[in-house]
Homo-oligomer: A and B are copies of this chain.
Amino acid sequence: MTEKEKLTEDKIAEAAREVFIEKGMAGARMQEIADRAGINKSLLHYYFRSKEKLFNFIFSKIIDRVGIMFQNIMQEGVSIEDKLKGFVSTYIDVLMKNPFLPNFIFNELTRNPEAIFDHYKNANIEPSKFFKPLENQLAAEKYNINPQDFMINVISMVIFPIAAKPIIKQIVFEGDEKAYKAFMQLRKESIVKFVLSALEGYKE
C-alpha cells in the first residue's frame, strides 16, 4: 500500500533529518536513524540505498526550504524597513526552533562546497532575483551602502548568535537558558533598530 510506504519513508526522513542536523554527516549513525524511526536498519537501505544517498536527499530538501523562505521574504514589494523587520523576525523564530541548522549547513557546505552549485542548477532559486531588487531599493531610497555588505551584516547579526549559542549562553549569560532566549527575542527589535540607525549615516 502506497499509504503505508509514505508513512515509513516519512518516518525515516524525519529521523534522518534530526540525526543529520544534530550530528552531521560524519557523526550520524544509520543505526540511530533507524532506532529513532522505529524500524529495522535494513529498511533504511531498502528505501534509500546508502547513507550518502539518504544524506543528499535530506540535505537538498533543507537547502531548498531555506532558499525558498529567503526568496519569499526578499521578494515582497515592501520598504526596506519592512523587509528588514520581516527577515529578522521570521529567521529568528525559525532558527530558535532549529538551533542546530546553521552549524549543520555551514559544516556540510564546507565539507563539499560543490553541493550548492550542483543543486542550484535544478532548483528554481536564482540569487540575483532577490539581490538585484535590494540593490535597486537601496539606491531608490538614497542609501549609499554596498548592498552585499548590508545584506551580509543583517544576516550575520541574526544567524551568528544562534550558531554560537553555547558560547554566548555560557559567557554572556552564565549558562542561563531563559536569559539567552529572552535576549534573542529582544534582538528582533534591537537588530532592526541598530541597522536602521546605521543606514541613517548612508543617506545621501
Binding site for B on A (CB under 8 A): 23-24, 26-27, 100, 103, 105-107, 109-110, 113, 116-117, 127, 131, 145-146, 148-149, 152-153, 155-157, 159-161, 163-172, 175, 183, 187, 190-191, 193-202
Extra inter-chain contacts (18) besides given A127-B171, A200-B200, CB under 8 Å? A24-B24, A103-B110, A105-B167, A106-B166, A113-B170, A117-B170, A152-B157, A152-B160, A152-B161, A152-B168, A152-B172, A153-B191, A153-B194, A156-B159, A163-B163, A194-B198, A197-B199, A197-B201
| CB-based nearest B residue for A183 | B148
How many copies are assembled? 2
Q: DSSP majority for the A interface?
A: helix
Among candidates B116, B127, B166, B202, residue contacting A197 with C-beta atoms closer than 8 Å = B202
Among candidates B24, B26, B163, B166, residue contacting A116 with C-beta atoms closer than 8 Å = B166
Q: Which residues of chain B have C-beta atoms less than 8 A from A160's C-beta?
A: 152, 155-156, 159-160, 163
Among candidates B26, B148, B169, residue contacting A172 with C-beta atoms closer than 8 Å = B148
The answer to whether B197 touches A197, judged by C-beta atoms less than 8 angstroms apart, is yes
